[in-house]
Amino acid sequence: MELRVRVARPWLRVLAVAALFLLSTGVGPSHVAAAQPSGAGAVCPDTAPAARSSDTAQSQGTGVRIPRDEAPHRDRAEWWYYVGHLRGVDPQGRPHCYGFEQVVFQFLDKGPEPLYIGHFALSDLTRGTFQYAGTPDSHPIPDTTDGFALDTGDWTMRGGSGKATLHAALPEYELDLQLRSAKPAVLHGDRGTIPYGPLGTSKYYSWTSAQAVGTIVDHGVPVQVTGLSWGDHQWGDNDFTIGAGWDWFSVQLTDGKQYMLYFVRDTSGKIVETIGTLIHPSGRTTKLSPAKLSTTDTGSWTSPRTGITYGSGWQVTVPGGRLTVTPNLVDQELDLLSTVGAVYWEGSVSVRGEIAGSPVTGIGYTEIYPPRPT
């Protein structure tokens, strides 16, 4: 993957951290940017069905345990992350289609109190536009067990045991969702512990079939929406200032199969760690061999804001087949460097390909976090 990265100097990173604390105390507005349309309104992708399943499973032995590990930990970095695809019809009978991302980061190494950063992005696939914001906050770790109750300013995230409620807002959109998982929690790697390349190791599990119901207020018009979401929770003693990056894919196929694929890169952009999980329609999981996984860019896009060149379209090899992953909007970059110190591409994608000789289609989300030379 070709990357042309405009890297912040160390003193700019210091200023970015200082800005986090100014914002968290209410000094200055949170950073909001609306991207120009990436072209005509995209075709609304088919929403893959969420399989019906029984109660959520817990790991055995010393691995990640649900619901205990839904609550915040005392590690250096932790995040709770939801993405998904939503459809709805407004009161005038007009159909709408969206992709969304809401994530809360917890950092314990940025100051005297924990630092919380919320990211929220809305891909309006009907209008062909993308809008996003980042909101920092600072407060003690929430005192919860068997669940989480996270605030970043007015944005909220609550949940546990495969259920969650989300609230976040942008100048032209407001999201309120209720999520309920239809499959057990998926523990990646070794009972929920993954190798993380130069970042060490990380705890990581996912809710890969979260059925979503709620409302999006779209330019002042309430749209009742339903759809399919994906939730991640990851934590560890990870120092992201070392400049490592990754390509990450969540894939939800219409035949009920799902994939989590993680390609971790060192500061030069070389893939140094590959993690993959196949989730079967029943909820059973298979740990995938790194030797049978690969990703290749099929195109590129250069951000007019940051100068970063990202892959734009990917050919992904999995055991028994290949998947072609296509962005539903070309420009889904979150340029939050000036406010919360991060810039990456995270967006709604469509998936097609062939597995075991049969054609497959589906939806997904892709995150490209570019490595940065140190």
DSSP string of 91-142?
A: TTS-EEEEEEEEEEEEESSSSSS-EEEEEEEEEETTTTEEEEEEEEEE-PPP
Task: Report pLDDT for 374.
Answer: 65
Quickly state the pLDDT bin for 372 (edges 50, 70, 90): confident
66 to 102, 110, 265, 280, 339: CA distances (angstroms): 21, 28, 29, 20, 34
Three-state secondary structure string covering 28-71: CCCEEEECCCCCCCCCCCCCCCCCCCCCCCCCCCCCCCCCHHHC
Contacts of 201 (CB under 8 A, 6+ apart): 193, 194, 195, 236
Least confident of 8-17, 116-125, 258-267: 8-17
pLDDT tens profile 224-275: 999 999 999 999 999 988 999 999 999 999 999 999 999 999 999 999 999 9
- Most confidently modeled of 25-34, 58-67, 236-245, 246-255? 246-255
Mean per-residue pLDDT, 57-84: 87
Enumerate the domain spans of the chain. 10-38+66-369
pLDDT tens profile 186-209: 999 999 999 999 999 999 999 999
| Claim: this prediction has a pTM higher than 0.85 | yes
Q: What beta strand segments (E) does 254-320 contain?
A: 258-265, 271-279, 285-287, 294-297, 300-302, 309-311, 314-318
3-state secondary structure of 179: strand
Where does residue 223 fall: left (phi above 0), alpha (psi -120 to 50 degrees), or beta otherwise?
A: beta
pLDDT tens profile 327-342: 999 999 999 988 888 9
pLDDT > 50? residue 33: no
Structural tokens at position 258: 């799902």
Task: Report pLDDT for 45.
Answer: 75
Quickly state the pLDDT bin for 47 (edges 50, 70, 90): low
pLDDT > 50? residue 6: no
Task: Report pLDDT for 27.
Answer: 28
Least confident of 29-43, 129-143, 353-367: 29-43
175 vs 30, which has greater pLDDT? 175
pLDDT > 70? residue 86: yes
Task: Please give the CATH number for the structural domain made up of 10-38+66-369.
Answer: 2.40.370.10
- Most confidently modeled of 57-61, 209-213, 370-374? 209-213
Contacts of 325 (CB under 8 A, 6+ apart): 249, 251, 313, 314, 315, 316, 349, 350, 351, 364, 366
Say if residues 51 and 209 touch (Cβ distance below 8 Å).
yes
- C-alpha 213/C-alpha 168 separation (Å) is 15
Structural tokens at position 169: 């807002």
Quickly state the pLDDT bin for 42 (edges 50, 70, 90): low
pLDDT > 70? residue 31: no
- C-alpha 329/C-alpha 64 separation (Å) is 35
pLDDT tens profile 273-295: 999 999 999 999 999 999 999 99
